[in-house]
C-alpha cells in the first residue's frame, strides 16, 4: 500500500512541481496518474522510490515512512518500469531480466530460472528470446522485458512511467491488455503514469487526474467519465467521454436479447416452423451442451428436407464475448466480424446476444446510474456509431 500525506515538492530553482498531495493506493490496486505534460506526475512517482525527495509531507509504503528506509533497500521492494525501458545493451534478455534478483543476492542459477519464468509470463519464449540482446527485439518486446525485469524480484509495489508510450497504438493496446491479465494474477500495488486518458481509463482501478501540481479528481474511471469533479477534468477527459465509457461499462445479463434458439441436432423443419410462428428471421444455434455453434436464418431453414438437421444448414459464428467484458469489446467484435450482434457467453454457455440497440441502452444505463446531476445533454451518445 502506498500513502501520500500532504506531499509537496519544490525544486531548488523554486518550481513547485506538486503541492498538498494526499491519496492512497490500496494493496493490489492499480492507480493511474494522468494529466498534461509538466503537471507533476513523474515527480510524484519518483518520490515513491526516493529518486526525488519531497520537500514537505510524507509517503508511507506498507505503513512505513519511506524517509526512514535506506533508499537502496526501498528500491528492491519497488519494481520500476520506464518508457525508455533502460535495458543493458550488452547483456542478454535473460541476464537483463535477472538483474535485480542477482543484485539482491540470489544464486545465479535461481535468478536465471526466475528470469525465464518471468519472460514466459510476459509472453516471450525464453528459449527464443532469452539469449538475444535488446537491440535484436522489437519495441513491444523490449517493453515486455522491462515489465519482466521489474517483476523479477517479486516486489509488492510497481511504478510504471509511460510504460507503453514508445510503441504504436495497436501494440500498445495489446501490451495494456496483457499487463491487465498479468495484474489479475500477480496483484501488485501499481502506480502508473500516463498522459493518455484512454490508457488511464483502461488500466486504472482508480484514476488521479492532475491539474497543475495537484489532483483535481481521484476516483474510478466510470465516475471520472460520468461525473467530472471540475470543469478542468471535464475538458481533460474530453467531450467524447460517453464513448470512452464503452471501455469501462461491463456487459450484464440484463443487457442481453434472447433470440430464438435451435439445436444442432434438431430437425430443421421443426426449427423452421418455430421461427415462422415467432416471426423471427434467424436463430442462434447451440450444441447439446448449450454452447455456441453459430446461427441459422429462417430462409435457409424453410426449404429443409425431411430428416435434415439444423446442423447442416447452420453457419459458424465466431463473434462472442464473455459476460462482464467491457461494451467496447463487444462493439469491436461486431465491427471485426461485420455482425449485427455478438453472442455473450458465461464460460462456454450461451447467455444471449448483444445488439447495437442493446449496447446503446447499456451505455445509457451506465451513464444514468451515476450521472448524479450531469445533464444528459452533456454526455454524447451520437458518436458511438462513428467509433
Report the residue from 2, 25, 39, 292 that binds ligand ATP according to the rule CB under 6 A: 39
- 165 scored as a contact of ligand ATP (CB under 6 A): no
Pick between residue 11 and residue 88 the one whose CB is nearest to ligand ATP: 11
**What is the C-alpha to C-alpha distance for residues 30 and 23, in angstroms, rounded to an integer?**
13
Kindly state the smallest distance separating residue 52's Cβ from ligand ATP, in Å. Answer: 8
> Which range in 40-48, 255-263, 278-286, 379-387 contacts ligand ATP by CB under 6 A?
40-48
Nearest by Cα to 321 from 302, 339, 298: 339
Report the residue from 2, 4, 7, 17 that binds ligand ATP according to the rule CB under 6 A: 17
Tell me the per-residue interface mask from 349 to 378 with ligand ATP, x by CB under 6 A, - otherwise.
------------------------------
- 38 scored as a contact of ligand ATP (CB under 6 A): yes
- 184 scored as a contact of ligand ATP (CB under 6 A): no
- 43 scored as a contact of ligand ATP (CB under 6 A): yes
> Which range in 11-19, 132-140, 151-159, 281-289 contacts ligand ATP by CB under 6 A?
11-19
Strand, coil or helix: 282: strand
* CA dist list (Å): 307 to 160, 268, 269, 271, 312: 62, 8, 8, 12, 11
**What is the C-alpha to C-alpha distance for residues 221 and 244, in angstroms, rounded to an integer?**
9
- 13 scored as a contact of ligand ATP (CB under 6 A): yes
**What is the C-alpha to C-alpha distance for residues 6 and 37, in angstroms, rounded to an integer?**
22
| Pairing state between β 64-65 and 56-61 | antiparallel
Pick between residue 19 and residue 120 the one whose CB is nearest to ligand ATP: 19
Pick between residue 47 and residue 317 the one whose CB is nearest to ligand ATP: 47
Kindly state the cell numbers that stand for 275.
421461427
Report the residue from 6, 11, 278, 369 that binds ligand ATP according to the rule CB under 6 A: 11
Pick between residue 39 and residue 304 the one whose CB is nearest to ligand ATP: 39
Pick between residue 8 and residue 228 the one whose CB is nearest to ligand ATP: 8
**What is the C-alpha to C-alpha distance for residues 249 and 343, in angstroms, rounded to an integer?**
17
Pick between residue 6 and residue 15 the one whose CB is nearest to ligand ATP: 15
- 88 scored as a contact of ligand ATP (CB under 6 A): no
Kindly state the smallest distance separating residue 210's Cβ from ligand ATP, in Å. Answer: 7
Kindly state the smallest distance separating residue 19's Cβ from ligand ATP, in Å. Answer: 11
Edge-first strand listing for the sheet containing 56-61: 16-25, 2-10, 56-61, 64-65
* CA dist list (Å): 10 to 16, 23, 56, 67, 234: 4, 19, 9, 17, 28
- 40 scored as a contact of ligand ATP (CB under 6 A): yes
**What is the C-alpha to C-alpha distance for residues 25 and 18, in angstroms, rounded to an integer?**
18
Exposure pattern of 271-297 as b/e (b: 16+ CB <10 Å)?
bbebbeeeeeebbbbbeeeeebbbbbe
**What is the C-alpha to C-alpha distance for residues 34 and 49, in angstroms, rounded to an integer?**
19
**What is the C-alpha to C-alpha distance for residues 52 and 106, in angstroms, rounded to an integer?**
28
DSSP 8-class letter at 146:
H
> Which range in 33-41, 62-70, 137-145, 367-375 contacts ligand ATP by CB under 6 A?
33-41
Nearest by Cα to 7 from 27, 33, 28, 36: 33
> Which range in 36-44, 107-115, 272-280, 285-293 contacts ligand ATP by CB under 6 A?
36-44
Kindly state the smallest distance separating residue 235's Cβ from ligand ATP, in Å. Answer: 17
Kindly state the smallest distance separating residue 4's Cβ from ligand ATP, in Å. Answer: 14
Report the residue from 21, 41, 203, 351 that binds ligand ATP according to the rule CB under 6 A: 41
Pick between residue 15 and residue 128 the one whose CB is nearest to ligand ATP: 15
- 195 scored as a contact of ligand ATP (CB under 6 A): yes
* CA dist list (Å): 308 to 89, 184, 285, 287: 65, 47, 15, 16
**What is the C-alpha to C-alpha distance for residues 79 and 192, in angstroms, rounded to an integer?**
12
Rule CB under 6 A: which residues touch ligand ATP?
Answer: 11, 13, 15, 17, 35, 37-43, 195
Amino acid at each position: 500500500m502506498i500513502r501520500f500525506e500532504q506531499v509537496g515538492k519544490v525544486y531548488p530553482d523554486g518550481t513547485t512541481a506538486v503541492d498538498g498531495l494526499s491519496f492512497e493506493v490500496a494493496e493490489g490496486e492499480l492507480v493511474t496518474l494522468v494529466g498534461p505534460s509538466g503537471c507533476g506526475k513523474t515527480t510524484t512517482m519518483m518520490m515513491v522510490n526516493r529518486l526525488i525527495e519531497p520537500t514537505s509531507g510524507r509517503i508511507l509504503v506498507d505503513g512505513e515512512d519511506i524517509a526512514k528506509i535506506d533508499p537502496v533497500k526501498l528500491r528492491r521492494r519497488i519494481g520500476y518500469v520506464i518508457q525508455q525501458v533502460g535495458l543493458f545493451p550488452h547483456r542478454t534478455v535473460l541476464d537483463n531480466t535477472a538483474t535485480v534478483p542477482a543484485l539482491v543476492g540470489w544464486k545465479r542459477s535461481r535468478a536465471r530460472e526466475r528470469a525465464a519464468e518471468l519472460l514466459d509470463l510476459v509472453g516471450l519464449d525464453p528459449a527464443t528470446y532469452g539469449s538475444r540482446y535488446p537491440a535484436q527485439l522489437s519495441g513491444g518486446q523490449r517493453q515486455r522485458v522491462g515489465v519482466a525485469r521489474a517483476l523479477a524480484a517479486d516486489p509488492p509495489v510497481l511504478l510504471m512511467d509511460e510504460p507503453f508510450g514508445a510503441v504504436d497504438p495497436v501494440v500498445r493496446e495489446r501490451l495494456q491488455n496483457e499487463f491487465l491479465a498479468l495484474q489479475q494474477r500477480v496483484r501488485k500495488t501499481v502506480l502508473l503514469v500516463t498522459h493518455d486518458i484512454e490508457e488511464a481509463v483502461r488500466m486504472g482501478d482508480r484514476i488521479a487526474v492532475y491539474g497543475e501540481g495537484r489532483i483535481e479528481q481521484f476516483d474510478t474511471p466510470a465516475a471520472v467519465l460520468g461525473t467530472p469533479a471540475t470543469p478542468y477534468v471535464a475538458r481533460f477527459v474530453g467531450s467524447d467521454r460517453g464513448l470512452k465509457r464503452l471501455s469501462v461499462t461491463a456487459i450484464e445479463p440484463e443487457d442481453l436479447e434472447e433470440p430464438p434458439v435451435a439445436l444442432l441436432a434438431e430437425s430443421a423443419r421443426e426449427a423452421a416452423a418455430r421461427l415462422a410462428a415467432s416471426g423471427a428471421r434467424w436463430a442462434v444455434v447451440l450444441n447439446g451442451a448449450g454452447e455456441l455453434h453459430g446461427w441459422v436464418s429462417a430462409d435457409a431453414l424453410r426449404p429443409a428436407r425431411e430428416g435434415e438437421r439444423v446442423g447442416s444448414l447452420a453457419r459458424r459464428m465466431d463473434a462472442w464475448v464473455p459476460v462482464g467484458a467491457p461494451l467496447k469489446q463487444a462493439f469491436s467484435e461486431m465491427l471485426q466480424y461485420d455482425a449485427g450482434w455478438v453472442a455473450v457467453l458465461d464460460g462456454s454457455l450461451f447467455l444471449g446476444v448483444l445488439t447495437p440497440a442493446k449496447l446503446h441502452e447499456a451505455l445509457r444505463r451506465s451513464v444514468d446510474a451515476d450521472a448524479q446531476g450531469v445533464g444528459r445533454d452533456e454526455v454524447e451518445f451520437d458518436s458511438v456509431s462513428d467509433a
